Amino acid sequence: MSRAHPLSRLIDALRVLPGVGPRTAQRMAYQLLQRQRSGAEQLLAALVHTLDLVTQCSHCNNYSTTPICELCQDESRDPHLLCVVETPTDLLMMEQTLAYQGHYFVLMGHLSPLDGIGSQDIHLPRLVTRIQGSALEEVILATNLTAEGEATAHAIATLLRPLGLRLSRLARGVPVGGELEYIDSGTLAQALRERRQALN
């Protein structure tokens, strides 16, 4: 089948979905064409609708159907706190803790020089603009505790340091409910280095 053939274009296009390789994409494409024509039309409509309506919030960068998202407009949120996360899913995870009442900034990724993802791609200039002239007092760097997340947090901290606000990072340590016997050495070493006063 030539590259230009619409079916091979669809197969290629389906491979943007996570976990979908060439074989699965091919099966999906045939399924959509042969048996699921109406499903394919619904998928098409949903895609058009979503791409049309969902934009990114001009404040926090998260997906939103309004120019400024509901969370950014919510006046009950603490205007002094900003939490920087990698993805919209991470924002949801933070919300589920019920332990955070401030605002967010979603990077939509992490720095990855090898993949050509630099500070522009994770919207760092916009983050600086967001902070300048705001009421913010603390920025919590809540990127993942992976190598890429740590590097991204470090880069952001370096960038924001001149702005003179408090910069903090999620605690590294033993998960709540964790037993020492099943923790990796690196985490245990960190939990030891960053030990806290007892009876706080």
Applying CB under 8 A, the residues found at the interface with its own copies are: 85-87, 89-90, 93-94, 96-100, 140-142, 144-147, 149, 153-154, 157-158, 161, 166-181, 183-199
**CB of residue 155 vs its own copies: minimum separation in angstroms?**
11
Answer yes or no: are the C-beta atoms of 28 and 13 closer than 8 Å.
no
Residue from 123, 129, 172, 126 nearest 152 by CA: 123
What is the rounded CA–CA span in Å between residue 182 and residue 175? 11
Residue from 8, 11, 43 nearest 27 by CA: 11
Among residues 85 and 127, whose Cβ is nearest to its own copies? Answer: 85
**CB of residue 128 vs its own copies: minimum separation in angstroms?**
16
**CB of residue 3 vs its own copies: minimum separation in angstroms?**
36
Among residues 28 and 153, whose Cβ is nearest to its own copies? Answer: 153
Among residues 20 and 88, whose Cβ is nearest to its own copies? Answer: 88
**CB of residue 196 vs its own copies: minimum separation in angstroms?**
6
Q: Strands 63-64 and 55-56, how do they pair?
A: antiparallel
Q: Strands 63-64 and 103-106, how do they pair?
A: unpaired
